[in-house]
Amino acid sequence: MFKLKKGDQVIILSGRDKGKQGEVIKSIPKSDRIIVQGVNLVQKHTGPTQTSAGGIIKKELSIHISNVAMIDPKEKVASRVGIRNLEDGTKVRYSKLSGEVID
């Protein structure tokens, strides 16, 4: 089970964007990477096409999940995520800092 999902608030732990916070736009479980809004921005030079004029655009690239931590919804600081089984047999994610269920 992938511990970070689309819509989660995360903080960057390492790299040039260390300390920035953002929302997960897309998760890529196959390669253990996520795309975070406003983080790891690069400039891409595109040529003109029939639908767009071309030029320089900024876009987010993926970042490895080991370089991010989820922001605890209760404490508002970085926390690890665990998986817990409930009494009815369903799996839920929880914050290891506060113990609060995330989903």
* Contact present, 103 and 93 (Cβ < 8 Å): yes
pLDDT of residue 1: 61
Output the pTM of the full model. 0.84
pLDDT digits (tens, 9 = 90+) for 25-53: 999 999 999 999 999 999 999 999 999 99
Mean pLDDT value across residues 2-11: 92
* Contact present, 83 and 1 (Cβ < 8 Å): yes
What is the CATH architecture of 9-74? Roll (2.30)
pLDDT of residue 74: 87
CA angle 88, 80, 75 (to 5 degrees): 95
The rounded percent of the chain whose pLDDT value lies above 90 is 88
pLDDT band at 75 (very low <50, low <70, confident <90, very high): confident
